[in-house]
DNA sequence: AGAACAATTCGTCAATATTT
DNA sequence: AAATATTGACGAATTGTTCT
């Protein structure tokens, strides 16, 4: 995959705002907006996280003189980075029994085979008669492998920086560090995407469960209405 | 069949959060 | 404070779908 010619963007204090909306778009040949871009990447049926588009809209419409007066706290609140998927999911799981926690990555010696991510699709959260959510065997009892622990072949740990002298050695060290960083980030991105998918699936499951619950309650309400005020015809 | 477009995936960068 | 982790955004590549 060729990565040459990649455009570098200055990023301002914007977690949910890209330069697409911050910069003037005049000199950009790309015509799609942030919202379009994110929706284009949204799979059918997935739940979109609206903050990005919302914030982008705010940013776009905010450049009037009045906007300068806007409380910076508010803005910061909007733009602040939201918690990680792991955190969100774990909070969800503490609220709702049956939603699995995303476990911290564990070292391989704790029994988990390396590089194996077992994960079931969380398609079945059921509600018990007490109103609690319960997981079936299909619930994601995944285990997260520890990707960063395994260095690819060819990545050699160099000597300590103190022992490097020549510019060539320094350059090699820099290259090695960069490759290591890229590799780590590559794995981190994969893991992040996996967590995100998990998070979205989890939300979808919740929606499904709540819809069923809502339907039941409506039916119950109708029944009670009928009992309390039977029709006279 | 193949062109055209849409959707998806992946690696990377950079900003920010979290951990040490 | 430095190191590390997380994740939105981007562009390129790949894959899928539709139309001619």
| pLDDT tens column, A48-93 | 333 333 333 333 333 333 333 334 334 333 334 455 666 666 665 5
Q: Among A50, A52, A75, which Cα is nearest to A62's?
A: A75
Indicate the helix (H) or strand (E) that contains A125.
strand A125-127
Which chain A residues 128-187 have CB under 7 A to strand B?
Answer: 182-183, 185-186
Mean pLDDT of chain A: 52
**For the segment A112-157, what is each residue's pLDDT rounded down to a tens digit?**
333 333 333 333 332 322 223 333 223 333 333 333 333 333 344 4
Residue A86 confidence (pLDDT):
62
Which DSSP category does A36 fall into?
Answer: H
Positions on chain C within 7 A of a protein C-beta = 5-14
Inter-CA distances, A86 with A17, A93, A101, A142, A144, Å: 22, 10, 8, 13, 12
Q: Return the structure tokens found at A65.
A: 């003189």
CA of A190: nucleotide with nearest C1': B10
Q: Which helix (H) or strand (E) segment is A135 a member of?
A: strand A133-135
Q: Does the predicted model carry a pTM greater than 0.85?
A: no
pLDDT band at A209 (very low <50, low <70, confident <90, very high): very high
Cβ atoms of A132 and A153 closer than 8 Å: no
């Amino acid at each position: 995959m060729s990565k040459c010619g990649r455009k570098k963007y200055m990023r301002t204090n914007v977690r949910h705002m890209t330069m697409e909306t911050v910069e003037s778009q005049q000199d950009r040949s790309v015509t799609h907006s942030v919202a379009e871009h994110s929706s284009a990447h949204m799979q059918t049926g997935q739940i979109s996280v609206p903050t990005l588009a919302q914030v982008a809209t705010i940013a776009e419409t905010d450049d009037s003189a009045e906007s300068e007066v806007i409380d910076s706290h508010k803005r910061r609140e909007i733009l602040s980075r939201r918690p990680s998927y792991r955190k969100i999911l774990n909070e969800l799981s503490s609220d709702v029994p049956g939603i699995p926690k995303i476990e911290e990555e564990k070292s391989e010696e704790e029994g988990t085979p390396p590089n194996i991510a077992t994960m079931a699709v969380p398609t079945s959260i059921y509600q018990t008669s007490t109103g609690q959510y319960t997981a079936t065997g299909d619930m994601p009892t995944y285990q997260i492998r520890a990707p960063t622990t395994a260095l690819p072949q060819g990545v050699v740990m160099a000597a300590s920086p103190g022992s490097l002298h020549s510019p060539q050695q320094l350059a090699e060290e820099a290259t090695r560090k960069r490759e290591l960083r890229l590799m780590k980030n590559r794995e981190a991105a994969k893991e992040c995407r996996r967590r995100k998918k998990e998070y979205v699936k989890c939300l979808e499951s919740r929606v499904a469960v709540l819809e069923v619950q809502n339907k039941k309650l409506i039916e119950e309400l109708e029944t009670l209405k009928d009992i309390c005020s039977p029709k006279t015809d």
